[in-house]
């Protein structure tokens, strides 16, 4: 209790690459915990919410989505990975209130 626990919070790692330890954990809401996820281990782009697509003619493009309140929101499609990453960060700011870094 003295560390901030209550029944409406979940345990979250501040840095997902580090283990569970008192200096790397915090109590957050379920939604905050969801927002702290990184890219899936099988991600082809290495960026959460950004997937690569290849058309039949060989042209490559990137699809961006974000999830808010259990709803998957399509952000758009982009010609370059850099554009897709920028769009994803902007969507995080809009939907989650995260600052674009």
* Average pLDDT score, the chain: 87
**pLDDT for res 100:** 56
The predicted structure's pLDDT at residue 68: 86
What is the predicted pLDDT for the residue at 99? 66
Q: How many CB atoms within 10 Å of residue 64?
A: 24
Give the pLDDT of residue 35: 75
Report pLDDT digits (tens) over 50-96.
999 999 999 999 999 998 888 899 999 999 999 999 999 999 999 98
Instruction: Return the percent helix, strand and coil in the chain, to nearest 5.
Output: 25, 30, 45
For residues 75 and 12, which has the higher predicted lDDT (pLDDT)?
75
Instruction: Please state the pTM of the whole predicted model.
Output: 0.72
């Amino acid at each position: 209790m003295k560390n901030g626990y209550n029944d409406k919070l979940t345990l979250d790692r501040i840095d997902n690459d580090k283990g569970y330890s008192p200096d790397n954990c915090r109590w957050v809401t379920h939604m905050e915990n969801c927002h702290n996820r990184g890219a899936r281990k099988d991600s082809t782009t290495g960026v959460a919410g950004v997937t690569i697509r290849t058309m039949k003619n060989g042209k490559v493009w990137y699809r961006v989505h974000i999830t808010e309140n259990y709803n998957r929101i399509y952000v758009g499609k982009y010609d370059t990975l850099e554009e897709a990453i920028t769009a994803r960060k902007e969507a995080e700011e809009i939907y989650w209130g995260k600052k674009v870094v």
